[in-house]
Amino acid sequence: MAVIKRAPFTPRRLATLGFFVTLLIVVGWLHFTGAAGTRGMDRKDMDWNGDGNVSMQEMLQSFYAVTVKVTKEGARECRAYSWRGSNDTLRMDCRTVVQPATK
């Protein structure tokens, strides 16, 4: 019985694998550093200059230029948005989160 030897990864498969591994690392780093685009924001909330329109540039800024810090005080949850590397707050969104009753 002959053993069939499989060919090693082709250069095309290696390039595809490298691309997806790099993409996964970048998305993980963005989430770890607090990028606003990885925190489940709606498109309408990405209006950083306050003109009422959300442009493609503002959507991209939510990934590389805007960070979010989440704070919780009891049932109140606040998200403070700021430019990366700055402590100046662009916007603060607060809401009351109701937890289900535990027995």
Residue showing tokens 């060919």: 7
Tens-digit pLDDT profile for residues 53-93: 888 998 888 888 888 888 998 889 999 989 988 888 888 88
| Tens of pLDDT, residues 11-22 | 899 999 999 999
Per DSSP, the three-state class of 12 is: helix
User: Tell me, what amino acid is at 88?
Assistant: D
Interatomic CA distance for residues 36 and 7, integer angstroms: 43
pTM score: 0.69
Q: What pLDDT was estimated at residue 1?
A: 65
> What DSSP character marks residue 80?
E
Q: Whole-angstrom distance between the N-terminal and C-terminal Cα of the chain?
A: 64
